Amino acid sequence: MKKVLLALLALITVVVAVLVINTARLSAGGTASTVAPVAVSVDSAGAIARLASAVRFETVSFEEGTRPPDSTAFRALHEHLRLSFPRVHQRLVRETVAGLSLLYTWRGTDTTLAPVVLMGHLDVVPVIPGTEGQWTHPPYGGVIADGYIWGRGTLDDKVSVLAALEGAEGALRAGFQPKRTVYFAFGHDEEVGGSSARALKAELLKRGIKPPALVLDEGGAIMPGAVVGTRGTVALVGASEKGFLSLQLSVQGTGGHSSTPPAHTAIGRLATAITRLEAEPFPLVLDGPALAMMERLRGGMPYAQRLALSNLWLFGPVVAQGMAKKPASAAMLRTTTAVTIIDGGVKANVLPIDAKATVNFRIRPGETMASVTEYVKRVIADTGVRVEAVGFRTDPSPVSDAKGTGFAAVEKSLREVFPEPGLVVTPYLVTGGTDARNWSDVSNQTFRFLAAPMTADALTRAHGTNERVGLGGYLIAVRFYERLLRNVDAM
Ligand SMILES: [Zn+2]
């Protein structure tokens, strides 16, 4: 008995030692950045005015099939860019692709090097009908007030397009000539499927370009505090994005008079299927970009969290359960299930002849549209419920390598223009979708990031009411692009 107790004590001592050593070794505070700040002079008033003006062109993508885009507005925006960035338009070749998208080519001095592709989109979502009166300033007014530029596109995504071109104009003004060829690829229908981004990619591949050293699109941002338990500022750089699949569940009934019903009508049977799906969500898995993110963040966390995150071999399930409490972090760990549409029945005294529901899934890397469909059929466990995919769908994108030189260039550029002590720059999983997904199979240096601070409040404004960007934040993005052009060129 004594021997057993001694052995147990020895085992406990070893486990505790491993936990403590792992914690010290893996998350010993944040190491200070060695990147020196770089001053980048910007024509601040001019840059702010140019983005404000860009907002005034109503380049709206309406819901698919309802209304075509206003090509006059898009062409007027093209002209605004031409007048705003004279050096860019003198030095770079600009082409129109897919009707209303823009492709700029800045030919490098060494065309054997892998190129760089900087993306953004010219279109914006419509203003939600009925909310016009809630805007502090008109959504297409391009008003500058209270330290912000207000209007549609100031966060999503004219901000990226204008900041990238400001960076290029600034670099040209300073006499910069890239070694790598740089492409600016600005689509015009990201908000309705992004077919123009695919056309831009196809055009570049047709020209035989090498896998880019960096593809950068919208997605993450600088988040001041409050990212899953950290206190400092975190820059989230999207390394992958989730897949998208909508499954329609349908049940056929026999119809007839409601006075003599079967035990389950078509609606009841459908409801059972939905209940089962919600009762059995997809498993939580802490791997890929979500794991990489937690590994970079743990250094700034309280000891208990650092201990848990440094010993995932033991605490992995506990950490995952903890993260799953909030929908935003749960979405990084699992394929999500959202029942979004339901339809069935016509009259109170008539048995329904059919009932349908649409369930939207956002698929985490590691699963596929096929594996999700398989899982859904197994959980529903009722062959009377038909399951079929409807509408737009895509598998999760391949995960980019955050240890590569493209990521390093993004991180260095950010630290040069945003030298905040304790800033953590980390890859993460984008739970929505961007045009960048098209490039993930060509370049493992495909990332999603805008170098501007975004609070949680800002994120609700992006497709909502009172979209706006802080003037200081926008100028960080401008400086970031100017540095990025140089840093990625030197990689
Ligand atoms: Zn966007």
State pLDDT tens for residues 71-93: 999 999 999 999 999 999 999 99
Question: Is 2 within the bounds of a domain?
Answer: no
Q: How many domains does the chain have?
A: 2
Distance of CA 311 to the CA centre of its chain: 29
At 32 the pLDDT is: 61
Ligand 1 centroid to residue 206 C-alpha, Å? 26
**pLDDT given for residue 255 in this prediction:** 84
Residue 28's pLDDT is 59
Mean pLDDT of the chain: 92
What's the gap in Å between 461 CA and the centre of ligand 1?
12
The alpha carbon of 122 and the centre of ligand 1 are apart by a number of angstroms equal to 9
pLDDT of residue 226: 62
The ranges of the chain with pLDDT < 50 are none
Cα 34 off chain centre by: 28
| CATH value at residue 261 | 3.30.70.360
Identity of the amino acid at 274 = I
Are residues 134 and 189 located together in one domain of the fold? Answer: yes
The answer to whether 306 and 20 have CB atoms below 8 angstroms apart is no
How many angstroms does the Cα of residue 363 sit away from the middle of ligand 1? Answer: 19
Same domain, 180 and 204: yes
Among the candidates 394, 413, 444, a domain finishes at 394
> Domain range spanning residue 257?
243-394
| DSSP-assigned letter for residue 133 | G
The residue among 362, 394, 426 that closes a domain is 394
Residues catalogued as catalytic: 123, 190
Burial-class residue 10 by CB neighbours within 10 Å (0-12, 13-18, 19+): exposed
Question: What pLDDT is recorded for position 398?
Answer: 95
Q: 106 — phi, psi (to 5°)?
A: -110, 95
Q: Specify burial of residue 430 (Cβ count, 10 A radius: 0-12, 13-18, 19+).
A: buried
* Residue 458: closest CA among 214, 156, 171, 193: 156
Q: How far is the CA of 451 from the centre of ligand 1 (A)?
A: 14
* Residues 150 and 217 occupy one common structural domain: yes
In a domain, 11, yes or no: no
The verdict on 402 and 386 lying in the same domain is: no
Q: Do 178 and 216 reside in the same domain of the chain?
A: yes
Indicate whether 309 and 195 sit together in one domain. Answer: no
Task: Kindly report each contact of residues 328-334 with a partner whose C-beta sits within 8 Å and lies 24 or more positions away, as own/partner.
Answer: 328/431, 329/228, 330/284, 331/242, 331/362, 331/431, 332/289, 332/290, 332/293, 332/364, 332/428, 332/429, 332/431, 333/284, 333/285, 333/286, 333/290, 333/364, 334/281, 334/282, 334/283, 334/284, 334/285, 334/364
The CATH number of residue 190's host domain is: 3.40.630.10
Tell me whether residue 132 is in a domain: yes
pTM comes to 0.90
How far apart CA 349 and CA 89 sit, in angstroms, is 68
Cα–Cα distance measured from residue 111 to residue 91, given in angstroms and rounded to the nearest whole number: 16
Give yes or no: residues 87 and 191 share one domain.
yes
Please answer whether residues 255 and 355 qualify as being in contact, where contact means their C-beta atoms are separated by less than 8 angstroms.
no
Q: What digits encode the pLDDT tens for the residues 327-336?
A: 888 999 999 9
What pLDDT was estimated at residue 476?
Answer: 97
